[in-house]
Amino acid sequence: MGNPSAARPSTTIAGSWARNPVSASLRHPAASPQPARAPSAGAHLLMSGQEAMRLAAQILANSHSVTVPSSLGDVVLRPGQLFSNDRLLISPSWSTVYFTIGDRLYEMGTAAFIRDEWLNAMAAGAQKAAWLIPIAKAEMALLAGLFVPWYLMLGVACAKTTAIYVDHKDQFAVIWKHAPKALEALQKLRREHSTFFNKILCRIAHETFTHLPEGVTGEDVGFFVGRVLHGVDGLPEVTIGAVIKVTASVAWKITLLHLPNVTVHAAEAAAHERAEEFRAYLQGIGYTVTVDEAKAILKDAMAKRDLEATLHQLEEACNALAPTFQVLENAIYE
With beta carbons less than 8 A apart as the criterion, state whether 148 and 157 touch: no
Judge whether 150 lies within some domain. no
Nearest 5°: the CA angle 108, 166, 58 is 50
43 within a domain of the structure (yes/no): yes
Instruction: Enter the pTM of the model.
Output: 0.72
Cα 166 from Cα 82, distance rounded (Å): 10
Among 31-35, 39-43, 66-70, which stretch is predicted with the lowest mean pLDDT?
A: 31-35
**50/157 Cα distance (integer angstroms):** 10
Q: Which segment of 132-141, 154-163, 323-332 scores lowest on mean pLDDT? A: 132-141
Same domain, 129 and 184: no
Are 104 and 186 within one domain? no
DSSP 182-222: HHHHHHHHHHH-HHHIIIIIHHH-HHHHHT--SS-SHHHHH
Q: Are 270 and 260 in contact (CB under 8 A)?
A: yes
Q: CA dist 206 to 100, 194, 210, 248, 285, Å?
A: 33, 14, 6, 20, 18
For every residue of 149-169, which 3-state class applies, written as one string? HHHHHHCCCHHHHHHHHHHCH
Cβ proximity of 260 and 249 under 8 Å: no
Q: How many CB atoms lie within 10 A of CB 138?
A: 7
| pLDDT the model gives residue 126 | 47
Q: H or E segment at 83?
A: strand 82-83
pLDDT for the residue numbered 134: 62
Whether the pLDDT of residue 182 is over 70: the answer is yes
Write the single-letter amino acid at 160: K
Taking residues 290-312, what's their average pLDDT? 87
First to last CA, the chain: 46
Question: Three-state DSSP class for 91?
Answer: strand
What are residue 81's phi and psi, to 5 degrees?
Answer: -85, 145
Domain boundary, last residue among 84, 117, 135: 135
pLDDT (mean) for 148-175 = 90
Same domain, 18 and 121: yes
Please tell me whether residues 224 and 99 are part of one structural domain. Answer: no
pLDDT tens-digit readout, 208-248: 788 888 888 888 999 888 888 887 555 666 678 888 888 88
Do 241 and 113 fall within a single domain?
no
Domain count, the chain: 2
Q: Above 50 in pLDDT, residue 58? A: yes
Say if residue 275 is in the same domain as residue 202: yes
Predicted local confidence at residue 135, as pLDDT: 74
Residue type, 215: G
The pLDDT of residue 101 is: 92
The answer to whether residue 24 sits within a structural domain is yes
- Pair 80, 185 in one domain: no
In this structure, are 100 and 222 located in the same domain?
no
- Confidence (pLDDT) at 210: 80
Determine the Cα–Cα distance for residues 330 and 295; give it in Å rounded to an integer.
41
- Residue 22: exposure state from Cβ atoms within 10 A (0-12, 13-18, ≥19): buried
Structural domain includes residue 151: no
What mean pLDDT do residues 77-87 have?
Answer: 86
Are residue 115 and residue 223 in the same domain, yes or no?
no
Query: Which residue segment(s) compose the domain that 28 sits in?
Result: 4-135
* Closest C-alpha among 149, 171, 274 to residue 223: 149
Q: Are residues 119 and 181 in the same domain?
A: no
Domain assignment of residue 162, yes or no: no
pLDDT band at 308 (very low <50, low <70, confident <90, very high): confident
For the segment 54-73, the average pLDDT, to the nearest whole number, is 88
* CA nearest neighbour of 89 among 54, 136, 56: 56
Minimal CA–CA distance to 298: which of 248, 264, 332? 264
- Report DSSP letters for 258-313, one per residue: T-----HHHHHHHHHHHHHHHHHHHHHTT----HHHHHHHHHHHHHH--HHHHHHH
pLDDT over threshold 70, residue 196:
yes
Residue 61 shares a structural domain with residue 206 = no
Asked whether the predicted pLDDT for residue 198 surpasses 80, the reply is yes
The answer to whether residue 52 is domain-embedded is: yes
Residue 278 included in any domain? yes
In a domain, 163, yes or no: no
Same structural domain, 174 and 308: yes
